[in-house]
Amino acid sequence: MTIIAQSPRLVIREFQPEELDVYLNHFTDERVIEHIPKRSRDERITIFNIALSQYQQIKTCGVWGIFDAYSGDFIGSCLLRPFNGDDAIMELGYSIDHKYWGRGLATEMAEAIIAHGFTDPAVNEIVAVTTFENEASQRVLKKAGMVREGNLKRGEDDLAFFSLKR
């Protein structure tokens, strides 16, 4: 198991195969999934399995678990992925279990993942999107140093677009 990033309260690491149920259960809370792309259980299983298979080859981007540094409890998941197929621009995404909201953990995670993304000299920019209604995530991204750069249309959705350049 590889640790991707660490902060005072968090360990962000590769998922283990036996953590599939923990990962899937995270997405059963309507509050957690309200502002993220809608996926079926089978799609989430595929995402998890692809993440596991990519851990050996790819280190800058991926899907990882967020865990409490002291208790080891699962807090949520996060990802970095190429934005629109451009490996020089990484997109940050995350979801946090509701019981951990309002504690500053999302900001701590975002700062750690941004720092991780910029360890790759080929990455020039990290971006993120949120729904307009998700003001809490917008505050998280701003606290992590990202700047609102307008809006982005993704499929049928209009989203708030944030960016941080190297």
Residue 46 lies in a domain: yes
pLDDT confidence tier of residue 38, bands split at 50, 70 and 90 = confident
pLDDT confidence tier of residue 156, bands split at 50, 70 and 90 = confident
Residue 144 lies in a domain: no
Residue 71 lies in a domain: yes
Residue 11 lies in a domain: yes
Q: Give pLDDT tens digits for 103-135.
A: 999 999 999 999 999 999 999 999 999 999 999
Amino acid at 139: R
Q: Looking only at Cα atoms, what is the longest distance across the chain?
A: 41
Q: For residue 34, what is the domain's CATH number?
A: 3.40.630.30
Q: Output the CA–CA distances (angstroms, integers) from residue 161 to 92, 112, 115, 126, 144, in the order listed.
A: 11, 20, 19, 11, 14
Q: Model-level pTM greater than 0.75?
A: yes
Q: According to the model, what pLDDT value does residue 104 have?
A: 94
pLDDT confidence tier of residue 34, bands split at 50, 70 and 90 = confident
Residue 93 region by backbone torsions, left for phi larger than 0, else alpha for psi between -120 and 50, else beta: beta
Name the residue range of residue 80's domain: 3-124
Q: Give pLDDT tens digits for 133-146.
A: 999 999 999 999 99
Residue 104 lies in a domain: yes
How many domains does the chain divide into? 1
Cα(93)–Cα(36) distance, integer angstroms: 9
Residue 148 lies in a domain: no
Residue 162 lies in a domain: no
